[in-house]
Chains A and B, each alone.
Chain A
Amino acid sequence: AQSVSQHNHHVILSEAASLELGCNYSYGGTVNLFWYVQYPGQHLQLLLKYFSEDPLVKGIKGFEAEFIKSKFSFNLRKPSVQWSDTAEYFCAVRGNTDKLIFGTGTRLQVFP
Protein backbone atom coordinates (compact mmCIF):
# COMPACT_ATOMS: atom_id res chain seq x y z
CA ALA A 1 0.00 0.00 0.00
CA GLN A 2 1.15 3.52 -0.72
CA SER A 3 1.92 5.79 2.21
CA VAL A 4 3.57 9.13 2.85
CA SER A 5 5.51 10.23 5.92
CA GLN A 6 6.17 13.81 6.86
CA HIS A 7 8.54 13.76 9.79
CA ASN A 8 8.27 17.39 10.85
CA HIS A 9 4.86 18.12 12.35
CA HIS A 10 5.55 21.68 13.43
CA VAL A 11 8.44 23.88 12.33
CA ILE A 12 9.15 27.34 13.70
CA LEU A 13 11.60 29.61 11.88
CA SER A 14 12.66 33.22 11.78
CA GLU A 15 12.42 35.15 8.54
CA ALA A 16 15.39 34.58 6.19
CA ALA A 17 16.12 31.15 7.67
CA SER A 18 16.43 28.22 5.29
CA LEU A 19 13.69 25.60 5.17
CA GLU A 20 13.71 21.90 4.47
CA LEU A 21 10.61 19.77 5.07
CA GLY A 22 10.99 16.04 4.85
CA CYS A 23 8.74 13.73 2.84
CA ASN A 24 9.22 10.00 2.33
CA TYR A 25 6.88 7.70 0.50
CA SER A 26 6.48 3.99 0.15
CA TYR A 27 5.70 2.68 -3.30
CA GLY A 28 8.00 0.73 -5.58
CA GLY A 29 6.66 1.79 -8.96
CA THR A 30 6.50 4.98 -10.97
CA VAL A 31 5.16 7.88 -8.93
CA ASN A 32 3.94 11.41 -9.29
CA LEU A 33 4.81 13.55 -6.28
CA PHE A 34 3.25 16.78 -5.08
CA TRP A 35 3.58 19.45 -2.45
CA TYR A 36 0.41 21.34 -1.60
CA VAL A 37 0.19 24.38 0.67
CA GLN A 38 -2.75 25.59 2.75
CA TYR A 39 -2.43 29.20 3.91
CA PRO A 40 -4.54 30.21 6.94
CA GLY A 41 -8.19 30.39 5.94
CA GLN A 42 -7.51 29.36 2.36
CA HIS A 43 -7.92 26.16 0.41
CA LEU A 44 -5.22 23.76 -0.72
CA GLN A 45 -3.03 25.03 -3.54
CA LEU A 46 -0.43 23.19 -5.56
CA LEU A 47 3.09 24.33 -4.76
CA LEU A 48 4.98 22.05 -7.10
CA LYS A 49 4.81 18.64 -8.74
CA TYR A 50 7.11 15.92 -10.03
CA PHE A 51 5.96 14.05 -13.15
CA SER A 52 9.05 12.04 -14.20
CA GLU A 53 11.17 14.80 -15.60
CA ASP A 54 14.07 16.63 -13.95
CA PRO A 55 14.28 15.38 -10.34
CA LEU A 56 14.86 18.93 -9.12
CA VAL A 57 11.50 20.62 -9.37
CA LYS A 58 10.96 24.34 -9.04
CA GLY A 59 7.63 25.63 -7.80
CA ILE A 60 5.97 28.89 -6.98
CA LYS A 61 7.24 31.45 -4.46
CA GLY A 62 10.83 30.24 -4.56
CA PHE A 63 10.12 26.70 -3.38
CA GLU A 64 11.84 23.67 -4.84
CA ALA A 65 11.87 19.95 -4.16
CA GLU A 66 14.24 17.16 -5.08
CA PHE A 67 13.08 13.65 -5.95
CA ILE A 68 15.63 11.10 -4.79
CA LYS A 69 14.40 7.74 -5.98
CA SER A 70 16.93 5.69 -4.02
CA LYS A 71 15.76 7.31 -0.79
CA PHE A 72 12.05 7.41 -1.67
CA SER A 73 12.17 11.07 -0.72
CA PHE A 74 10.78 14.33 -2.04
CA ASN A 75 11.92 17.01 0.39
CA LEU A 76 10.73 20.59 0.06
CA ARG A 77 13.24 23.42 0.32
CA LYS A 78 13.38 27.19 0.32
CA PRO A 79 16.63 29.11 0.88
CA SER A 80 15.06 32.05 2.73
CA VAL A 81 11.56 31.94 4.21
CA GLN A 82 9.24 34.88 4.63
CA TRP A 83 6.51 35.58 7.17
CA SER A 84 3.97 35.00 4.37
CA ASP A 85 5.15 31.38 4.08
CA THR A 86 3.36 30.60 7.35
CA ALA A 87 1.03 27.78 6.33
CA GLU A 88 0.49 24.04 6.45
CA TYR A 89 2.39 21.98 3.88
CA PHE A 90 1.26 18.60 2.59
CA CYS A 91 3.27 16.09 0.61
CA ALA A 92 1.29 13.68 -1.60
CA VAL A 93 2.03 10.73 -3.86
CA ARG A 94 0.10 9.20 -6.72
CA GLY A 95 1.14 5.71 -7.73
CA ASN A 96 -0.79 3.19 -9.76
CA THR A 97 -4.17 4.63 -8.86
CA ASP A 98 -5.59 8.07 -9.53
CA LYS A 99 -6.09 9.09 -5.92
CA LEU A 100 -3.59 11.15 -3.97
CA ILE A 101 -2.15 9.75 -0.76
CA PHE A 102 -1.26 12.59 1.58
CA GLY A 103 1.07 12.91 4.50
CA THR A 104 -0.24 14.29 7.77
CA GLY A 105 1.11 17.76 7.01
CA THR A 106 3.73 20.09 8.48
CA ARG A 107 2.70 23.31 10.12
CA LEU A 108 5.25 26.06 9.41
CA GLN A 109 5.33 29.22 11.48
CA VAL A 110 7.66 32.02 10.40
CA PHE A 111 8.30 34.88 12.78
CA PRO A 112 9.47 38.30 11.60
Chain B
Amino acid sequence: GAGVSQSPSNKVTEKGKDVELRCDPISGHTALYWYRQSLGQGLEFLIYFQGNSAPDKSGLPSDRFSAERTGGSVSTLTIQRTQQEDSAVYLCASSLSPGNNYEQYFGPGTRLTVT
Protein backbone atom coordinates (compact mmCIF):
# COMPACT_ATOMS: atom_id res chain seq x y z
CA GLY B 1 0.00 0.00 0.00
CA ALA B 2 0.96 3.63 -0.31
CA GLY B 3 3.19 5.14 2.31
CA VAL B 4 3.29 8.65 3.66
CA SER B 5 3.65 11.18 0.87
CA GLN B 6 4.83 14.76 1.06
CA SER B 7 4.82 17.62 -1.40
CA PRO B 8 6.67 19.41 -2.73
CA SER B 9 9.85 17.34 -2.46
CA ASN B 10 11.95 20.48 -2.77
CA LYS B 11 11.06 24.12 -2.20
CA VAL B 12 13.29 27.12 -2.66
CA THR B 13 11.87 30.39 -1.41
CA GLU B 14 13.04 33.90 -0.75
CA LYS B 15 13.37 35.17 2.77
CA GLY B 16 10.14 36.76 3.93
CA LYS B 17 7.81 34.67 1.75
CA ASP B 18 5.24 32.24 3.14
CA VAL B 19 5.42 28.51 2.31
CA GLU B 20 2.99 25.65 2.65
CA LEU B 21 4.11 22.04 2.99
CA ARG B 22 1.72 19.15 2.53
CA CYS B 23 1.55 15.70 4.06
CA ASP B 24 -0.68 12.77 3.06
CA PRO B 25 -0.59 10.11 5.79
CA ILE B 26 -1.14 6.42 5.32
CA SER B 27 -4.86 5.77 4.89
CA GLY B 28 -6.52 4.96 8.20
CA HIS B 29 -3.72 6.41 10.35
CA THR B 30 -5.25 8.70 12.95
CA ALA B 31 -2.03 10.16 14.32
CA LEU B 32 0.16 12.50 12.28
CA TYR B 33 3.46 14.10 13.27
CA TRP B 34 5.69 16.80 11.84
CA TYR B 35 9.44 16.82 12.48
CA ARG B 36 12.28 18.97 11.20
CA GLN B 37 15.73 17.68 10.25
CA SER B 38 18.40 20.37 10.25
CA LEU B 39 22.08 19.97 9.58
CA GLY B 40 23.79 19.27 12.87
CA GLN B 41 20.52 19.37 14.82
CA GLY B 42 19.14 15.93 14.14
CA LEU B 43 15.39 15.47 14.08
CA GLU B 44 13.22 17.80 16.13
CA PHE B 45 9.55 17.29 16.90
CA LEU B 46 7.27 20.12 15.78
CA ILE B 47 3.62 19.15 16.23
CA TYR B 48 1.36 16.14 16.56
CA PHE B 49 -2.24 15.61 15.45
CA GLN B 50 -4.77 13.12 16.71
CA GLY B 51 -7.56 13.34 14.19
CA ASN B 52 -7.93 17.03 13.38
CA SER B 53 -6.82 18.35 16.74
CA ALA B 54 -3.27 19.04 17.87
CA PRO B 55 -2.72 17.94 21.49
CA ASP B 56 0.97 18.78 21.33
CA LYS B 57 2.32 21.85 19.53
CA SER B 58 5.27 22.23 21.84
CA GLY B 59 7.91 21.90 19.13
CA LEU B 60 6.77 24.74 16.88
CA PRO B 61 9.74 27.14 17.00
CA SER B 62 7.80 30.41 16.71
CA ASP B 63 4.39 31.84 15.94
CA ARG B 64 5.41 31.99 12.27
CA PHE B 65 4.83 28.23 12.20
CA SER B 66 1.33 26.75 12.11
CA ALA B 67 -0.25 23.53 10.99
CA GLU B 68 -3.67 22.16 10.38
CA ARG B 69 -5.22 18.86 9.51
CA THR B 70 -8.54 18.43 7.78
CA GLY B 71 -10.81 15.42 7.46
CA GLY B 72 -8.49 13.45 9.70
CA SER B 73 -6.19 13.04 6.73
CA VAL B 74 -4.10 15.63 4.89
CA SER B 75 -2.06 18.08 6.92
CA THR B 76 -0.39 21.32 5.90
CA LEU B 77 2.48 23.00 7.69
CA THR B 78 2.66 26.73 6.99
CA ILE B 79 5.69 28.90 7.64
CA GLN B 80 5.08 32.63 7.39
CA ARG B 81 7.75 35.21 6.65
CA THR B 82 10.41 32.54 6.17
CA GLN B 83 13.89 33.08 7.57
CA GLN B 84 17.16 31.45 6.54
CA GLU B 85 17.23 29.43 9.74
CA ASP B 86 14.00 27.73 8.59
CA SER B 87 16.02 25.89 5.92
CA ALA B 88 15.74 22.20 6.74
CA VAL B 89 14.07 18.97 5.69
CA TYR B 90 10.52 18.81 7.03
CA LEU B 91 9.39 15.28 7.72
CA CYS B 92 5.90 13.99 8.25
CA ALA B 93 5.07 10.70 9.93
CA SER B 94 1.85 8.86 10.67
CA SER B 95 0.83 6.01 12.92
CA LEU B 96 -2.28 3.89 13.22
CA SER B 97 -2.96 5.39 16.62
CA PRO B 98 -1.03 7.45 19.12
CA GLY B 99 0.49 5.88 22.18
CA ASN B 100 2.45 2.76 22.89
CA ASN B 101 2.89 -0.13 20.51
CA TYR B 102 2.31 1.88 17.33
CA GLU B 103 5.29 2.77 15.20
CA GLN B 104 5.57 5.92 13.14
CA TYR B 105 6.04 5.68 9.38
CA PHE B 106 7.93 8.54 7.79
CA GLY B 107 7.50 10.26 4.47
CA PRO B 108 10.35 11.31 2.16
CA GLY B 109 10.36 14.87 3.45
CA THR B 110 10.27 18.34 1.91
CA ARG B 111 13.64 20.04 1.59
CA LEU B 112 13.10 23.75 2.22
CA THR B 113 15.78 26.23 1.25
CA VAL B 114 15.33 29.87 2.18
CA THR B 115 17.59 32.21 0.21
List residues of chain A with CB under 8 Å of any chain B CB. Answer: 32, 34, 36, 42-46, 49, 51-52, 90, 92, 94, 97-105
Contact B48 A104 (CB under 8 A): no
B109 CB–A CB distance under 8 Å:
yes
B1 CB–A CB distance under 8 Å:
no
A-B contact pairs, 12 of them (CB 8 A): A32-B100, A43-B91, A46-B103, A46-B105, A51-B100, A90-B43, A94-B100, A98-B33, A99-B45, A100-B35, A100-B104, A102-B35
Annotate B41-66 by CB proximity to A: 1 below 8 A, 0 otherwise: 11111001010000110010000000
A41 nearest in chain B by CB position: B108
Minimal beta-carbon separation of B61 from chain A (angstroms): 15
- Chain B interface residue count, CB cutoff 8 Å, equals 27
User: Would you call the interface of chain B mostly helix, strand, loop, or mixed?
Assistant: strand
B106 CB–A CB distance under 8 Å:
yes
Minimal beta-carbon separation of B10 from chain A (angstroms): 13
Residues of B within 8 A of A103 (CB): 42
Distance in angstroms between the alpha carbons of A94 and B35 in the assembled complex? 14
B72 CB–A CB distance under 8 Å:
no
Minimal beta-carbon separation of B108 from chain A (angstroms): 4
Contact B103 A34 (CB under 8 A): yes
B71 CB–A CB distance under 8 Å:
no
Contact A104 B106 (CB under 8 A): no
B31 CB–A CB distance under 8 Å:
yes
B31 nearest in chain A by CB position: A98
Residues of A within 8 A of B25 (CB): none
Contact B56 A102 (CB under 8 A): no
Given contacts A34-B103, A43-B106, A51-B101, contact A98 B42 (CB under 8 A): no
Residues of A within 8 A of B105 (CB): 46
Distance in angstroms between the alpha carbons of A101 and B44 in the assembled complex? 7
Contact A99 B40 (CB under 8 A): no
Minimal beta-carbon separation of B17 from chain A (angstroms): 26
Distance in angstroms between the alpha carbons of A104 and B55 in the assembled complex? 25
